[in-house]
Amino acid sequence: MSIEKAKNYLKQFGADSRVLEFDVSSATVELAAQAVGCEPARIAKTLSFRTNDGVILIVAAGDAKVDNPKYKARFGCKAKMLAFEEVEPEIGHAVGGVCPFGVNENVTVFLDESLRRFETVFPACGSSNSAIELSIPELEKFSGYKAWVDVCKGWRE
């Protein structure tokens, strides 16, 4: 089960016991915000893309949307999300629970600037009814991210 994979991964940081599991779905930003009890923007959604260099994850704020020109300028190709059926085999987590914890080895993680305005955010933990509250430094450490990127729009005031 994917949540177990995420928990086992988080164990190395002593954070596995902090994973929240809900009786309701947290598979979308809106549902996760309701389950957690926070504003949707603080949900750290994890989006999966195929680039010329392989599969990547971009963790972004719940209110941010990928800006195609910014994405193309950063990654050198058009933003092409993985198809539903590709996500689990390529990433290691199914749609609704995709997170940057315990992903397949060939997956590169990027964090979007839209997250930096929050003290803590809530990424999923491998299932459609889980999350963990992390500070930005914890998200950096736990995700094993490669770089911060600025590829989203719609979140700046």
Per-residue pLDDT tens, the chain, 157 aa: give them.
689 999 999 999 999 999 999 999 999 999 999 999 999 999 999 999 999 999 999 999 999 999 999 999 999 999 999 999 999 999 999 999 999 999 999 999 999 999 999 999 999 999 999 999 999 999 999 999 999 999 999 998 6
Report which of 123, 125, 122, 127 is spatially closest to residue 94, judged by C-alpha positions.
127
pTM (two decimals): 0.96
Residue 44: enclosing H or E segment and its boundaries? strand 43-51
